[in-house]
Structure 1
């Protein structure tokens, strides 16, 4: 078996480093402030806030692919004063043009956003509007379908905080463990990932458990038992979006993608239990490294262990995010 301290150390190892956080913080603050001050776009721009895994504190350290460190992704939501009658492709084009005028050179237009690439970070900038039919909800521009679709990124941020509180701070660490496990064992699988993983963990985790080892073991077993029939019959789960009524977070996952994910989870559910039963610490470590990779290491006593435990249990990256949207050029909160 592994110790709680090993998992605490491992969680510290797989989260973004201080330098990565600093780079992301500087990049998103600069872009958000410049966009708010743009000579013409400021008449469209209302406010901005962070979304995605950095905002929900479930981000991992950047991936290394073929010996190259990939840039971290930061998601920025831009609340605009467009209406549902504005053409989504024009909305995306106008945003791209404005950001290009700010001096950013490498900008790609995507289906629902623009991607701004810098040397050490990528930022997905997503324009949204208030949903006129549902107060407090939002619409996102989809240029492929030329229509506005329901979304609620701020709702996802608030949902993650609420789930983590309900789980006594264990939700976010467990999400990171499953995300890292997926990265190590299914590196080329496109989906499920990201928010789908978060929704799955929230649905299946044991909210009474505090041991990270047991939380992860039980999660893989729940995936195996709850989704057995779906995987066997070539189907994918239907899991309700916690913030967008009627939306299924698994809607874009292909059956063959889910089957690969499921089969790996079922196999590793048994492997994890073998690691737990192993009484030899060295042999147990080898089994855990077959699950998480070689960043999972022996436990090394460190000063201030109780503080480290409390920080890890909190599930965050040591960062505080705003509960409400921020209007630059006031100093935008987000990354420390």
Structure 2
């Protein structure tokens, strides 16, 4: 298990620096002040404000000598949907070019792009209809489409608040994962689309950062299995505009490869453990080095585990293994008799009797797969009363298992996913120690 401090350090590293934030603030304020004060454009410009990941505070720092920091600036104009989107864009471009400092300026599909050193500004003009609704235009098809950037900001803030402030850090990690792993000719979901996908598939609250990342990866891999099995692009509901599909601009292959990469990394975590070296392969070289894999144990601990795994009442699975290596992981939280809730580490510190444990399996999707939990206990007290070693069905939702601690000793669970008579997913054992 990677130390939470390493994930905190990683988050700090991928956040934009103070100098980057200060310079971004200076650039967008200068631009907005210029548009409002312009003799030719001031009367057209009704309002300006920020949008996108910079405004939502979900943006990550640019890579050195490659990416630029993107800043989205919204310009509400006094134009209407009866005006030409291309003409509205050209008018905004002319106003921006009034200042000599804006040299690298170009008309894009929906916006005016400005490149300045390590920053890229997207300046997006919007218009109103007679009901006051906002629209964004496209120079490619001359169409106006409804938008609501302020509502996206409000929505993001509310989701983060409801998830105890852990949503935005999780978004940043997954955005960095996307940057590190998206092939050059493929378009993995990004921006508001990825943010909404994460919000729709959040893990349970209270987990460590590492467990949150693993669980959201597993949730994302499972969530769109039915659509992808039917070769359809998933429908990702816009939180600001009912009926608008945020994924409409993506193709099937974008989502298919996105899910394939998630499954590849989930299998890697299950097979190799969750040490820092594994996370470096998944999240890139910015992740801290050091720290052993969670599979690394002392000789005494390993000996005790081997004894627990060899007890005679542990039943054989009874299904041929289609997957040769473990390709699922287990995360667990415990509610102690005192009411305290904490994340459990595999074979970690002892917990008292009367605790309630929630086990969750993190793995890729298996259509029509059935989850089986093998629950095995050891120790003299359990052997006298309840020598369990068989297979149980999930008793929380479709895949999770809740257990109560009642007997002193080393106990463990293992998860298997059965499909058409074969075991297609399985995890390493997850050990607990009961006082």
Match of 2:125 in 1: 127
- Matched residues in 2 for 1:131 and 1:166: separation? 33
Q: 1:176 aligns with which of 172, 179, 185?
A: 172
Give yes or no for the alignment of 1:100 onto 2:91. no
Return closer, same or farther for 1:274/1:2 CA change in 2, 3 Å cut-off.
farther
Aligned pairs (5 A) from 1:161-310: 161-188=157-184, 189-274=186-271, 277=273, 284-298=275-289
* 8 Å Cα contact 2:52/2:71 also seen in 1: yes
Higher relative contact order (CA 8 A, sep 6+): 1
Q: Unaligned 5+ residue runs, structure 2?
A: 292-435
Does structure 1 conserve the Cα–Cα contact (< 8 Å) formed by 2:85 and 2:138? yes
TM-score (norm: length of structure 2): 0.64
Retained in 2: the 8 A contact 1:223–1:266?
Answer: no
1:71 correspondence with 2:68: yes
What do residues 283-334 of structure 1 show as CA deviations (whole Å, max 9, x unaligned)?
Answer: x11111111112111589xxxxxxxxxxxxxxxxxxxxxxxxxxxxxxxxxx
Q: Which has the larger radius of gyration?
A: 2
Question: 2:255, 2:234 → 1: CA distance?
Answer: 9
Conserved 8 A contact 1:142-1:148: yes
TM-score scaled by structure 1? 0.82
Residue equivalent to 2:108 = 110
- 2:38 — aligned with what? 38
Aligned to 1:23: 23
CA distance in 2, matches of 1:187, 1:18: 30
3-state DSSP of counterpart to 1:82:
strand
Q: Deviations over 1:182-239 (max 9, x none)?
A: 1111152323111111010000012423311111111111122222233333222111
CA–CA separation in structure 2 for the residues paired with 1:173 and 1:110: 30
Q: After superposition, give the CA deviation of every residue in 1:251-280 in whole Å (9 maximum; x if it has no partner).
A: 0111011111110011112223446x55xx
Quick check: which one's strand share is greater? 2
Contact 1:38 1:102 in 2 (8 A): no
| 1:150 corresponds to 2:146 | yes
Counterparts of 1:187 and 1:170, CA distance in 2: 28
3-state SS of 2:246 partner: coil
Aligned residues: 289
Contact 1:285/1:297 (<8 A) preserved: yes
| Equivalent-residue separation in structure 1 for 2:63 and 2:248 (angstroms) | 26
Q: CA RMSD in A?
A: 1.7
Residue 9 of structure 1 aligns with which residue?
9
